[in-house]
Structure 1
């Protein structure tokens, strides 16, 4: 497995740990529906957070809007809707992005709530 895949897995684990530390319950990781994959589905009270995780190093920093385009948003929304329906949930759904950035050997986590409002 390539180093980028390992770093991606580490990023998803760090994002999961971050959410747990901030009072979220992890419902499922890597939920798949048709061509879509939701990295993390987490819940905090009546909010269901659909979390896209982006792991980057300082040599490959891109604007989040370049990494998540309208097609990706459409797939995420479709998969989130399926998850809510199949689990018969009555919740507010929010789409978040967590970025894990490696700079000079240090890792930092940033959480952007309601991320699609910025697109």
Structure 2
């Protein structure tokens, strides 16, 4: 059985490839700070995009989108703020996206949520 971390890495790579095909530039993968982790940080045009990638093999635990709850959004928001303080030169607009993967179908939700303090 494949480890959860290895499975996650495989689907994060799939999400990164999907974004790159759409013109995004991947800036960071698995950005970590004390608050948690952001799966992908990308740039497209004048926006920095913080991306949470979720995979589910079935609906037994709900859809991948449902896993990005308010608590997870707060964690991502705090990591994004930390990233931005570490990169004061970033002047682009910021948004939070979710990429949900199930049964090899990719659903990309742009502006999936707002910053949560």
Q: TM-score band (shorter)?
A: 0.7 to 0.9
| Structure 1: gaps spanning 5 or more residues | none
- The TM-score with structure 1 as length reference comes to 0.84
**Alpha-carbon distance in structure 1 between the residues aligned to 2:21 and 2:65:** 27
Write 1 or 2 for the structure with the bigger share of helix. 1
| Structure 2: gaps spanning 5 or more residues | none
Give structure 1 regions of 4+ aligned residues with deviation exceeding 6 angstroms.
Answer: none
The count of residues paired between Structure 1 and Structure 2 equals 113
| Equivalences for residues 1-119 of structure 1 within 5 A | 2-60=2-60, 62-64=62-64, 66-88=66-88, 89-102=90-103, 107-116=104-113
Greater Cα shift, 1-10 or 45-54: 1-10
Matched-pair contact (CA < 8 Å) for 2:30–2:40 = yes
Greater Cα shift, 30-39 or 59-68: 59-68
Q: CA RMSD in A?
A: 1.9
